[in-house]
Structure 1
Amino acid sequence: MESIYILIPLSIILAFLIGYFFWWSGKNGQFDDLEGPAHRIIMDDDEYHPETSEAKPTDSAAEEKYDQRQS
């Protein structure tokens, strides 16, 4: 029962802190554009870079090691 004397003031302080941070985020424009990030991730503005068919140096080195192990 004695812990209620600590829990009630703590819960009131926590409620005021949550309310203050909610008010602060609204004042600073956190909730101005709620749909923009969701649509921005879908937009494809990247340039298309086709894959080249040239072999990479690491590919040939890996093939040589594989061939040596098979022998």
Structure 2
Amino acid sequence: MEILAVLIPVSLLLGGIGLAAFFWALKSKQFEDPQGDAARILKTDYDDHPKP
């Protein structure tokens, strides 16, 4: 039963970190163009030798 005194705060901390990372991703516009990303992988016009 004493382990719950450790596991509950740890799980709340990890959940808070995950929630903060999600809101950071929303704020930095990571999810703006999901359809474009899905179509981009199917295109054949890509550069075999990118610039260094």
Shorter-normalised TM-score: what interval? 0.7 to 0.9
Ranges in structure 1 where 5+ consecutive residues have no aligned partner: 47-71
**Count of matched residue pairs:** 46
Larger RCO of the pair (alpha carbons < 8 Å, separation 6+): 2
CA shift for structure 1 position 2: 0.7
Q: Normalising by the residue count of structure 1, what TM-score does the alignment of the two structures yield?
A: 0.58
Which residue type is aligned with residue 21 of structure 1? A
CA RMSD of superposed structures (Å): 1.3
Deviation beyond 2 Å, 4+ runs, structure 1: 43-46
Larger radius of gyration: 1
Normalization by structure 2: what TM-score? Answer: 0.76
Q: Identity of aligned pairs, percent?
A: 39
Gaps of 5+ in 2: 47-52
